[in-house]
Each structure stands twice: as C-alpha cells, then as structure tokens.
Amino acid sequence: MKNMNGFTKRLVCALLSVLLCVAVLPSMAKATLPMFPWLDYTLRVTLCTDDLDDITKRNFPVNTGERLVRVVFEGVYMEINNDDIDKHCEMFALRDEARNEYGVRGSAVHGISLADGKFNTNPMQEGFDLFYVIPISVPLNDLALLVETDQPNERIVVRMTDVPREVSAADSQQ
C-alpha cells in the first residue's frame, strides 16, 4: 500500500471492510442464538415457527384450537448422532407463561439422502427439528424450552426470546 495514492488506499480499505463484514456478521448473528448442553453435544436453537408446509401438517395432525410448532436445533461445531436424536428427544419440552408444558410430538432430521430409489438417514446430523402441539391462544413469544439433564429433577430453561420466528397469520393477530 506504500506506492498507492490516497484514493486507491481508501478504496482498498473500504473493500476489505465490506469483505470482513460479509464474513463476520453471519457468525455474529448465530452467536446471539441460545445455546445449551445436551448429552455430549452443544446445541443452538435457530428457529421457532408455526408457519409449516402442508406435508408437515399432514404428518402431525392437530385438533381444533391447537397448532403445530416446529423448533429447529443445530449442533454447535459438531454433528449429532441420529440415534441420540431418536432415543432422547423426549428430554425436550416447551413451557408457556402459565407454566403449562408441551411434550414432543415428533421429530425430523436434516440429513437425508436418496440412493437406489430409497431414502437413507445419515448417521450423523447437522441438526434436527422437534414438533410440538400447543393451544392457538399461546403466542410463540411466551414459550421457553425445557431440557432435561442427567441430574434427577434438573432441567435447563432456554429462553426463546432471541430465537427467530416465522409466524403464521393466526399468531401475528394476537
């Protein structure tokens, strides 16, 4: 930069600043999402939504006055064993402000491949989804995630206030 004129130096500095922002800002945004220990993993909650596609709704039917909520998890710098997801997803629950708790209704993993006309589930997953059924009257913003630990009667409470939402029209009217 010694032989560059003032304009060129400013232009190079501006471009470097933009590149730095593009590289750093997405990871900074993820850093604000709630993280917690689970089994031998560290998980991050990346989404809480009731805005679901029709296929998902058919797989998890709900009664009148209820709605399906999807909570998305990802491993922090690690993959999660699919067997652990299958065997231990009951360790998660949602709780509303009235302290009503809602257990897991189902799960889905992100790593699925198609080979020889058959779907295969990858043994290690980058993330997974858990599905809950809650009353329509409970706003998503009022939910907390409860996670059992290996200690009896101990649970981690994960505040969901900083988790991104995709909210259906029904929730946005409340």
Burial label, 58 (beta-carbon count in 10 A; 0-12, 13-18, 19+): exposed
**Which one, of 32, 52, 9, lies nearest residue 159 by Cα?**
32
**Which residues make Cβ contacts (< 8 Å) with residue 60, sequence separation at least 6?**
68, 105, 106, 131, 133
Domain encompassing residue 25: 1-31
Instruction: Specify the pLDDT at position 167.
Output: 54
Contact call for residues 44 and 134 (beta carbons, < 8 A): no
Per the structure, how many domains does the chain have?
2
Q: How many CB atoms lie within 10 A of CB 55?
A: 7
Who has greater pLDDT, 23 or 55?
55
**Residue 100: CATH number of its domain:** 2.60.40
pLDDT at residue 22 above 60? no
9 & 41 share domain: no
| CA atoms of 54 and 58, how far apart (whole Å) | 6
pLDDT in tens, 110-133: 888 777 788 788 889 999 999 999
